[in-house]
Structure 1
Amino acid sequence: MRRAPAAAFLLLALLAAAEASGPEGGEQACDKGWERSGSRLCCKRNITDFFKARHFEELFPRRNDTIAHAAGFWDYPAFIAAAALFEPRGFGTTGGKEMGVREVAAFLAHVGASTSCGRFYPNPMAWGLCYKREMSPYQNFYCDDSNELYRCVEGLQYYGRGGEALFLNYNYGIIGKGIKQDLLSHPELLQQNATLAFEAAIWRWMTPVKWRQPSAHDAFVGNWKPSKNDPLSKRYPGFGTTMNIMRGDRICGQGFTDEMNNTISHYIYYLGLMGVNHEHSGRSLDCADQVVFNPSSKSLGS
């Protein structure tokens, strides 16, 4: 008889939970606006909790300037729509708020550095998202005829497009498969649709090039546990290794090159605009002495 109050309390709790779940007993959908309307995932922390439209404008204030080559293309809703697809996988939602801020800043630093025309103008950090495509592509450089899985489509060019300047036919094929878009047949989509351009870049950030290699996301947030060989190759968790994964030997393993320093500068600058002191930028910022995971001839991405 003494167990009756406890049983009654449990029954009331279950009834309350069932009522909150709705008439069909499923999980109650919550509505947090256009980012995750009607999804139970919106009840968890989202990037929009700490990264607002004003932050996007502060990071990319000159993107719609009259002399910007992609004026009117990139915007905050496109980034958030793409990012929301990867939030369940941990993009911007791994760890606490500061880690989320740092990861968004790190990812956008890659994008900002890749799409900047700032070297021509004052305040170079303000010119990210100036481009959406390579302006002077080499005509015969972007088709790798040796790749039989993702053959070039006759008449199409696979020069740099999108947020990470994706180029070469096999990269369009691999990433297109990842985001369920036929980029091999329609590479122009990355310069026509800003959401797809961001989605392709985030997929690249979240996906390892090869099995047993880390993604840039895992290397940055600390999910990656280096093997005993990684320290010998000067590879450690942090922003530096994200450059190794995303850019390979174009900027890593060659000392302190201008391009590597520029990417780091974007990261530190964006962190400051988002309210994080550079002292909290994390360890291992550079990849100057790192052995690259994948030589350029086998590298995925930009």
Structure 2
Amino acid sequence: MRMSRAAASLPLLLLVVVALLAAAEARRHKDGDEKACDKGWECSGSRFCCNDTITDYFKAYQFEELFANRNDPSLAHAAGFWDYQAFITAAALFEPRGFGTTGGKEVGMKEVAAFLGHVGAKTSCGYSVATGGPLAWGLCYNHELSPSQSYCDNSNELYPCVEGVEYYGRGALPVYWNYNYGVIGQGIKQDLLNHPELLEQNATLAFEAAIWRWMTPMKRKQPSAHDVFVGNWKPTKNDTLSKRYPGFGATMNILYGDLICGQGSIDKMNVIVSHYRHYLDLMGVGSDNAGDNLDCADQVAFNPSSKNLDS
């Protein structure tokens, strides 16, 4: 029995259609074009866009476990302010740059635990016999309760103090001084120099400012806290001579400098390390997987100074 000419041409037609679809898909994946992902993340050329996002491995119940007493009416000073959605909304702005999306799921979980370890330690009102222990009281504050000064540096011409405005500590990683409000505000496109109070009025902005600090180098040719934690940074000879190595310890060096680092095994440093390790346990990663170079007891500060973001 003879096949008709139309029937014989069908296989060829199908091959042409398949080839055209393949070419179209290849064009979609061409460098610089938007990638096709199934996670609802709109890609804009980011190499992280098809990786797990923070909501894939860090859920609301885990946030509640990490900050179990933040809304306790008897002790918490920012009850009702901090929540999971505020963190996730802020974090999503930095996921295309690698925050929580670098190096696979475990590295992402460790980075979230590391960042929140700093946040928890810096906003804690926990003490040794507090309910749940001293590590269960992160996000107790959203601003400094009894400022010792206005934190105005009149010598700074780039970000001069605004009359009547005080620059005491506010936020998830508390910000101090007019010049720090100025540079962070510029980074997140908010007028924090004139309105530093935004960091104690809007939890999403408070987390956004903190993650911006985590992701941004203090100076050119220096790493960010993110870089030293996820392995993007390779120490120079001068770094190794200064005992600066990749790991959690170097994140403290970048964020706090000689206020915490290079002073031996002091309580202020150990509390931050303890929060990080505790959060790793709560998130199921385990404190045994905290990594090397956890402290900065012997590190020389990247930027020795009496004033920095945390002073």
TM-score with structure 2 length normalisation?
0.87
Question: Is 1:164–2:168 an aligned residue pair?
Answer: no
> C-alpha root-mean-square deviation of aligned residues, in Å?
2.5
Return the offset for 1:280. Answer: 1.1
Once residues 177 and 127 of structure 1 are traced to their aligned partners in structure 2, the CA distance between those partners, rounded to angstroms, is 31
Distance 1:31 1:284 in 2: 37
Q: Closer, same or farther in 2 for the Cα pair 1:118/1:12, shift >3 Å? A: same
What is the identity percentage for the equivalent residue pairs of Structure 1 and Structure 2?
70
Distance 1:53 1:75 in 2: 9
Structure ID, larger Rg = 2
Alignment match, 1:98: 106
Task: State the AA in 2 paired with 1:138.
Answer: S
Tell whether the 8 Å contact from 1:20 to 1:28 is kept in structure 2 after alignment: no
Distance verdict in 2 for CA 1:12–1:114, change over 3 Å? same
Kindly state the Cα deviation for residue 96 of structure 1 after the two structures are TM-superposed: 1.3
Structure 1 residue ranges (4+ consecutive) displaced by more than 6 angstroms after TM superposition? 5-8, 19-22, 28-31
Shift of 1:278: 1.8
The structural deviation recorded for 1:300 is: 3.7
Deviations 1:96-132 (A, max 9, x none): 1110000000000000000000027240110000000
**Distance change in 2, residues 1:21/1:233 (3 Å):** closer
Contact 2:152–2:166 under 8 Å retained in 1: yes
Given the alignment, which residue of 6, 13, 21 partners 1:15? 21
Task: State the partner residue of 1:247.
Answer: 256
Question: Contact between 1:21 and 1:28, CA under 8 Å: does it hold in 2?
Answer: no
Q: Distance in 2 between matches of 1:20 and 1:236?
A: 41
**Structure-2 residue corresponding to 1:185:** 194
Normalised to the residue count of structure 1, the TM-score between the two structures is: 0.89
> Do 2:72 and 2:79's aligned partners in 1 also have CA atoms closer than 8 Å?
yes
Change (3 A) 1:27 1:252: closer
- Within 1, Cα distance between the matches of 2:261 and 2:91? 27
Q: 1:16-165 alignment to 2 at 5 Å?
A: 18=24, 36=41, 39-40=42-43, 43-66=50-73, 67-119=75-127, 121-122=130-131, 123-140=133-150, 142-165=151-174
1:293 is displaced (CA, Å) by 0.8
- Where does residue 273 of structure 2 map in the other structure? 264
Unaligned segments of structure 2, at least 5 residues: 1-10
Give 1:10 deviation, angstroms.
6.8
Any unmatched runs of 5+ in structure 1? none
- Over 3 Å counting, the alpha-carbon distance change for 1:177 and 1:266 in structure 2 is same
Match of 1:227 in 2: 236
2:25 and 2:265 map into 1 onto residues whose CA distance is: 60
CA contact (8 A) 1:21 1:27 kept: no
The structural deviation recorded for 1:139 is 3.0
